[in-house]
Structure 1
């Protein structure tokens, strides 16, 4: 399958968001949301799979990432609703009716902000993937992104990206996959990385929003994750009483890549179950 159909959506503040779509236009919609310093390309194991035969797959590069706009003002990456408004803008522009939201790592944090600002009325379900949904510093592992100094050489920026990517995989991908990931990692400017590092949400606010959820929730996490520690998944699951927690025992921070076949099977089953009235 070729690169997904590309369109641009404007966020409320004017930032251009690059949106991609694959698969069955008549199928249940699924929004795939990437992590920090990544892009829509990380979901190749999903959009090049049988998932595209059954579902309408939509992914977008978050602001500052991939082909999307890269605002220079740090405030464009912070605040209580900027990321939520981006997601809402994509859902509205693509006319997505009750999609399932899949958020990997930072993508899950964006979904959290969406829930706080918009609630769950417009979605069918959520799959949190290796995400620090409730921001507790003790759940950040040794592989989590490190604070960046004010000035970095190009060589240092590349080294930072390599170190972070190494930590994203318990089972290393092919060299080709790693090279591509390195390419879209270094595409994210250091200024955007620093600004995103300054964005957080109070744990109490998150917990309140999660406890009010009624839509189906699947929490997917690798037991070997050193970026977001497994305890983060346990806390999220204990907060969302009806959530199902799926452990990938031999995977790290990227179970959707490290064990794509199992991940895709579980996602397909979850999407279908979420369509039930």
Structure 2
């Protein structure tokens, strides 16, 4: 089921599939769209779970934010997602955030009392002003914060994220994304806005699953292992061999069983602090 939901951060395009008492909310990354979760939305997960995917403000079929300075920050985006869930009458959910989506999910922890569990993918939980601790320095990271992108830059950015698994809709999604989003997002992050994400994961009792591809070109994988998580699911950070920044897209066969196991643990109340 697809719909458009009006919020104070813009009109958001929402897609819902499946059934289940505890929804899974899927949050995509910078300059992409909800279609990156196509394999999950069309796969066996929907047989037993309600999945909610949407386009962030300034992305996909959603409108641009009416107030970019308010919305296009990690905290502003978290507030937009919480408002969306209120409009959908969702009071409890598990959140899956990919890349920027994971940062939004971490920002939601103190804002959304109904968060039962959080899975982050390609998302280093860095402290304020600590982006260099968790991210690789590269031209691709520079593009992620640029307002205006050439066709060559768009293609290079998509290739770095998705590799050989890239499809044409991904380039179209990056081209469509509001350039003010990228510029505002990175300026706010450099200024130290939002919560201290490292502190959140090291103190919050919310069950946290950390999943990365072993060949991710954007993040420093060893950084994840150095954190003192308060409630790390299965007691370790998971690395999927041979996969990059978007393992859920590249190999749902490898990724989806991990996600399903996490959901079952949350639903059965088996996730416990280490």
Scaled by the length of structure 2, the TM-score of the pair is 0.85
CA contact (8 A) 1:223 1:249 kept: yes
CA contact (8 A) 2:99 2:122 kept: yes
CA contact (8 A) 1:33 1:104 kept: yes
In 2: Cα distance, 1:188 partner to 1:54 partner: 32
In 2: Cα distance, 1:74 partner to 1:232 partner: 31
1:239 paired with 2:222, answer no
Q: Show structure 1 runs of 5+ residues with no match.
A: none
Match of residue 159, structure 2, among 154, 162, 166: 166
Q: Show structure 2 runs of 5+ residues with no match.
A: 270-274
Per the alignment, residue 69 of structure 1 pairs with: 63
Per the alignment, residue 173 of structure 2 pairs with: 184
Q: For residues 1-277 of structure 1, what are the structure 2 equivalents within 5 Å?
A: 5-11=1-7, 13-24=8-19, 26-71=20-65, 73-78=67-72, 81-116=75-110, 118=111, 121-134=113-126, 135-141=130-136, 142=138, 144-147=140-143, 152=148, 157-169=150-162, 172-173=164-165, 177-200=166-189, 201=192, 205-236=196-227, 238-243=228-233, 244-277=236-269
CA contact (8 A) 2:204 2:231 kept: no
| Alignment length (residue pairs) | 260
CA contact (8 A) 2:97 2:103 kept: yes
226-235 or 45-54, larger mean C-alpha shift: 226-235
In 2: Cα distance, 1:86 partner to 1:252 partner: 28
Scaled by the length of structure 1, the TM-score of the pair is 0.85
Distance 1:90 1:144, change over 3 A: same
